[in-house]
């Protein structure tokens, strides 16, 4: 039942879905290679990709994973004065270190994810900038202890490929896991210039990146591979979910028996509705981001799928009234001000 509910509307045809899955697996896959796997021309893949971008259906963004840089990721829940909640969310969406900025259905709580490059910048945001905003009346910060990998990334389109096509496409790079302080990476000025462009366009051509860094295209490609292998650089796809027929986004805050946290996390990572899953610090020790068709679908998921899992003691369900920013994409492209 749940797989049927997550089957997309006719907005995307099978070829669109195959292209999306190819990009989810390898965001910078050459269109010629993807076309060869799919049995279509390079020009067809490029044309379809441009159409998806022009319609606002997808956006490929290069992201910086701050864990290899020695800084953890965190999730914030910010309580605002109701009259100023929208203005605050708009302002938070403009902060480069913050992503997934959403106003929850309470109308006065904002949730966002954060990652900073340094302790100083983290402290500036969490101890000074955000708490001192006049509209902020409460702030809770949860540090991410472990992000659970998925056997297949959302929107889970590998069913539109044959087994041979999947083998040719290859697996998505495994999620990077820290193994010690010796894994920390230092970014150069040229690295930062390259990543700034990739944040805006994850498929920016090597020639453009070379011009920004002063390197050759060959050196850019080599350095990009090194940063991906180190876990510092990864690629995300933002989706226009409502255009795809998904009207309900929800975040779950779960209290799970500690001895069963890994077991429950691995079980939930198999669920098609789940787009993000992490063990966190705080009163709740597991959080999940869901994509559902509607509230009825959300209700069935919580009661039937999660309700059947042993070890979950309590679940708080929060839904998004409005999304202002996804990974790096401003959903509302207004010109936004500083924190009110």
Residue 298, pLDDT > 90, answer: yes
Amino acid 245: pLDDT: 87
CA distances from 130 to 78, 85, 139, 187 (A): 9, 13, 8, 27
Peptide bond into 155 cis (omega under 30): yes
**Percent of the chain having pLDDT more than 70?**
90
Collapsing DSSP to helix, strand or coil, 275 comes out as: strand
With cut-offs at 50, 70 and 90, classify the pLDDT of residue 333: very low
Pairwise CA distance, residues 114 & 97, whole Å: 6
With cut-offs at 50, 70 and 90, classify the pLDDT of residue 334: very low
DSSP string across 143-189: EEEEEPP-SS-TT--GGGS-HHHHHHH-PPPPPP----GGG-----H
With cut-offs at 50, 70 and 90, classify the pLDDT of residue 118: confident
Amino acid 105: pLDDT: 86
Collapsing DSSP to helix, strand or coil, 70 comes out as: coil
The 10 Å Cβ neighbour count of residue 265 is 22
pTM (predicted TM-score) = 0.87
How, if at all, do strands 274-280 and 58-64 pair?
unpaired
Residue 5, pLDDT > 90, answer: no
Pairwise CA distance, residues 95 & 338, whole Å: 9
With cut-offs at 50, 70 and 90, classify the pLDDT of residue 186: confident
Amino acid 2: pLDDT: 52
Q: Which of 143-157, 177-191, 264-278 has the lowest mean pLDDT?
A: 177-191
Amino acid 106: pLDDT: 78
For 333, counting Cβ atoms within 10 Å of its Cβ (0-12 exposed, 13-18 middle, 19+ buried), the class is: exposed
Amino acid 67: pLDDT: 86
**For residues 10 and 137, which has the higher predicted lDDT (pLDDT)?**
137
């Amino acid at each position: 039942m749940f797989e049927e509910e997550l089957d997309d509307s006719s907005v995307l045809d099978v070829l669109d879905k195959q292209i999306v899955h190819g990009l989810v697996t390898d965001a910078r896959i050459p269109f010629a290679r993807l076309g060869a796997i799919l049995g279509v021309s390079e020009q067809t893949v490029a044309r379809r990709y441009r159409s998806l971008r022009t319609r606002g259906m997808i956006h490929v963004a290069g992201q910086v994973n701050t864990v290899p840089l020695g800084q953890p990721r965190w999730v914030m829940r910010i309580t605002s004065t109701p009259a100023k909640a929208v203005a605050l969310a708009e302002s938070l969406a403009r902060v480069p270190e913050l992503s997934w900025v959403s106003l929850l259905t309470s109308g006065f709580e904002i949730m966002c994810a954060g990652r900073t490059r340094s302790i100083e910048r983290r402290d500036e945001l969490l101890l000074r900038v955000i708490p001192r905003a006049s509209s902020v009346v409460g702030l809770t910060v949860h540090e991410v202890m472990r992000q659970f990998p998925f056997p297949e990334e959302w929107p889970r389109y590998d069913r539109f490929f044959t087994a041979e096509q999947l083998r040719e496409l290859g697996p998505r790079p495994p999620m990077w896991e820290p193994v010690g302080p010796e894994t920390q990476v230092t970014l150069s000025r040229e690295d930062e210039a390259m990543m700034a462009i990739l944040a805006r366009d994850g498929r920016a051509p090597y020639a453009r990146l070379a011009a920004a860094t002063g390197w050759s295209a060959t050196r850019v490609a080599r350095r990009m591979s090194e940063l991906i292998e180190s876990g510092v650089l990864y690629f995300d796809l933002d989706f226009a979910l409502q255009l795809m027929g998904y009207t309900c986004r929800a975040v779950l805050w779960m209290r799970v028996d500690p001895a069963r946290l890994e077991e429950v996390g691995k079980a939930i990572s198999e669920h098609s509705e789940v787009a993000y899953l992490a063990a966190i610090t705080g009163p709740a020790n597991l959080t999940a981001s869901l994509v559902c068709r509607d509230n009825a679908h959300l209700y069935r998921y919580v009661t039937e799928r999660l309700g059947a899992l042993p070890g979950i003691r309590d679940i708080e369900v929060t839904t998004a009234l409005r999304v202002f920013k996804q990974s790096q994409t401003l959903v509302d492209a207004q010109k936004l001000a500083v924190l009110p």
